[in-house]
Structure 1
C-alpha cells in the first residue's frame, strides 16, 4: 500500500466498508494488516468487513499458499435504495486513483 494517511477524528463521508473495498481495488493482494493500517481500522474490523462483503457477493477471494487474492464484482449494484442502479464500479471510480494521479500535482496559487 502507498503511504498510510494521517489519523483523523470526527465524521467522514465514506464508510469503512467502502474504504476496505477501495483498498482492495487498489491492491487485490493486500494483506489484512496492510488494509487495516491504510484504512485506520483494526485487523479484526477489516476481517469482519471482508466477510460481510463476501457474504453479500461484492467480493470473493482465492488462496495461493498464504496469500489471498481478492476479486471485486464491479457490476454488483449498491445496496441502499438511494443508490439504486449504481454499481460497485461507479463507487470505486470515485475512490480509487489511477497510477498517473498518485503523484500530486502542485496547486497553483
Structure 2
C-alpha cells in the first residue's frame, strides 16, 4: 500500500486495489489505519485525494522499529522516481 501511494500520490484507491489484488474496501481500511498511525496524510484536491507518505516515521513491528519508512521504500523504489516527479 505504502509503495503505491509513494510512487503515485494521486493514485485512486480502486487502482491500488487492482494492483495489490485485494478489494477496494480493504484498501480503504488499510489507508485509514495508515493515516491514523501517521504514516500517510490524505488531502482532498478537487474530486481526488492526494496522499503524502511520511518517510521518517519508524516502522511498526518491534523487530524493524529501528528502521523508518524511507529505508523500506528505498528498497522497493530504488532507482525509480515517484510518478509525480517524472
In structure 2, stretches of 5+ residues that fail to align are 82-86
TM-score by length of structure 2 reads 0.88
How far did 1:96 drift? Answer: 2.1
Query: 19, 29, 45: which one pairs with 2:26?
Result: 45
Q: Distance in 2 between matches of 1:27 and 1:97?
A: 15
Q: CA RMSD in A?
A: 1.3
Aligned residue for 1:80?
61
Q: Distance in 1 between matches of 2:64 and 2:18?
A: 28
Name which structure has the greater RCO, CA cutoff 8 Å, separation 6+: 2
Pairwise mapping of residues 1-109 of structure 1 onto structure 2 (< 5 A)?
20-99=1-80
Q: Distance in 2 between matches of 1:66 and 1:21?
A: 21
User: What do residues 36-71 of structure 1 show as CA deviations (whole Å, max 9, x unaligned)?
Assistant: 111111100000000000000000011011111000
In structure 1, stretches of 5+ residues that fail to align are 1-19, 101-109
